[in-house]
């Protein structure tokens, strides 16, 4: 039985390196804000600039992945992550003085370009998983790849904060880009599997191998899947962008203690994301069949996340808030495997393009939340801004009741 976990591990390592280059600015934000006189709303615009480039180029990135393949595409973008991150450290360096508005524009441009370069990460990985992994294992394979969210976000705060306290934010940013350089060099030595893997025990795989599995991305199930993933992205990106600053500025943690505490949700997510994919695979292969097997994890995970977000927002205890929101983050992210495996079941041989569409929706939600959340908080407070996120998580959970899997995929392998 062929299970290409080594290449799946490489996809995860690539995505983790990319995520370090994505979230390093969030941890460096306090010193950036101080050096350049940036407000919370200005930092929100910088965060959103990345997501704008990332979201806008999801569909082109997915289409390129379908055409060129995962290995070739990902080997190129890893070089771009390293180069663009290093270039950001040159902003305002030395005797080059920049006023606040100029620094804001330059950072927004660089973050937009970084977002464009990062856009192929998950559509490209989805294309690889759809070709190299049997359908019965795609939930856990996607979970392993997307565990990079937890890995990158867990590593970034302590890595960046400890280096920037001693050497400044520029040295910390360069350090966070070194894994991307290493992965770029490794990709030069890796060969992409030559053939689509077919599972002889899977009816769905036989159909795919015969060329009959055409994608169906113009139907209500795919629309609802993308809608739910958009809401999941809105909620998830609040924690990606604002959790560290929320702990430091609103819950009054120190720079280092806040960094370690902000790593907790990502440490939990390292377990919860692959676990969600594994549980979904086992349920889909069991007596309840793929329909409810893929639904149960998103329904429960997103709904429980909404409950914990409201608890964390309301409690007066800073420690309890951090713990509640950490578990809420782990739950909102544990649904990644079922989302992507369901997308592959619906999209078939168009998984790269469909993954780009679905991920574009998630990141449009993520584009809104970093910029919109502090604005909402400025009017109604952080507690109520987080309650809004909680409601959206619950709505996204119940959208799964309308998502179905094509009949030819709705069979046990």
Q: What residue segments make up the domains of the chain, in order of their start?
A: 5-402
pLDDT at 148 over 50: yes
Instruction: Give the pLDDT score at 406.
Output: 63
Give the CATH number of domain 5-402: 1.20.1250.20
pLDDT at 179 over 80: yes
* Nearest-angstrom CA–CA distance, 320 and 271: 21
pLDDT at 384 over 60: yes
* Nearest-angstrom CA–CA distance, 266 and 151: 6
pLDDT tens per residue across span 215-253: 566 778 889 999 999 999 889 888 766 677 677 777 767
> Rounded to two decimals, what is the model's pTM?
0.72
pLDDT tens per residue across span 57-109: 888 988 888 888 778 888 899 999 999 999 988 888 876 667 888 888 999 99
Report whether 190 contacts 11 (CB < 8 A): no
Give buried/exposed letters for 383-405 (b at 16+ CB in 10 A, else e).
eebbbbbbebbbebbebbeebbb
- CA nearest to 403, candidates 275, 280, 219: 219
Most confident among 6-15, 233-242, 309-318 (mean pLDDT) = 6-15
Confidence label for 299 from pLDDT (cuts 50, 70 and 90): very high
The enclosing H or E element of 122 equals: helix 121-132
Considering only the C-alpha atoms of the chain, give the largest distance between any 2 of them, rounded to a whole number of Å.
Answer: 67
More confident residue, 284 or 257: 284
Segment among 97-111, 149-163, 192-206, 264-278 with least mean pLDDT: 192-206
């Amino acid at each position: 039985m062929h299970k290409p976990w080594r290449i799946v591990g490489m996809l995860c390592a690539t995505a983790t390196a990319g995520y370090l280059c994505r979230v390093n600015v969030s941890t460096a934000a306090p010193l950036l804000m101080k050096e350049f006189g940036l407000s919370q709303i200005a930092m929100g615009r910088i965060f959103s600039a990345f997501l704008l480039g990332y979201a806008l180029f999801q569909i082109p990135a997915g289409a390129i992945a379908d055409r060129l393949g995962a290995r070739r595409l990902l080997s190129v973008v890893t070089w771009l992550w390293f180069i663009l991150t290093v270039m950001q450290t040159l902003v305002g360096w030395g005797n080059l003085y920049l006023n606040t508005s100029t620094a804001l524009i330059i950072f927004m441009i660089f973050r937009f370009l970084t977002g464009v370069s990062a856009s192929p990460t998950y559509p490209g990985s989805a294309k690889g998983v759809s070709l190299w992994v049997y359908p019965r294992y795609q939930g856990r394979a996607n979970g392993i790849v997307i565990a990079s969210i937890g890995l990158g976000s867990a590593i970034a705060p302590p890595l960046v904060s400890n280096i920037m306290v001693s050497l400044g934010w520029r040295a910390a940013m360069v350090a966070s880009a070194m894994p991307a350089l290493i992965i770029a060099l490794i990709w030069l030595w890796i060969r992409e599997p030559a053939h689509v893997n077919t599972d002889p025990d899977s009816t769905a795989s036989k159909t795919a191998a015969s060329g009959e599995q055409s994608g169906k991305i113009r139907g209500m199930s795919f629309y609802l899947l993308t809608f739910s993933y958009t809401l999941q992205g809105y909620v998830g990106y609040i924690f990606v962008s604002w959790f560290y600053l929320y702990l430091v500025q609103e819950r009054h943690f120190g720079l280092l203690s806040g960094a370690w505490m902000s790593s907790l949700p990502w440490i939990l997510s390292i377990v919860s994301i692959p676990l969600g994919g594994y549980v979904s695979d086992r349920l889909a292969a069991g007596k309840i069949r793929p329909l409810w097997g893929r639904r149960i994890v998103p329904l429960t995970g997103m709904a429980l996340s909404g409950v914990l977000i409201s608890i964390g927002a309301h409690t007066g205890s800073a420690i309890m808030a951090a713990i509640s929101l950490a578990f809420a983050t782990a739950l909102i992210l544990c649904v990644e495997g079922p989302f992507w495996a369901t997308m592959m079941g619906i999209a078939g041989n168009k998984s790269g393009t469909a993954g780009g569409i679905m991920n574009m929706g998630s990141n449009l939600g993520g584009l809104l939340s970093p910029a919109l959340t502090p604005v909402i908080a400025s009017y109604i407070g952080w507690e109520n801004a987080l309650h809004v996120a909680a409601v959206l998580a619950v709505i996204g959970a119940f959208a799964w009741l309308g998502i179905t899997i094509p009949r030819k995929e709705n069979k046990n392998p």
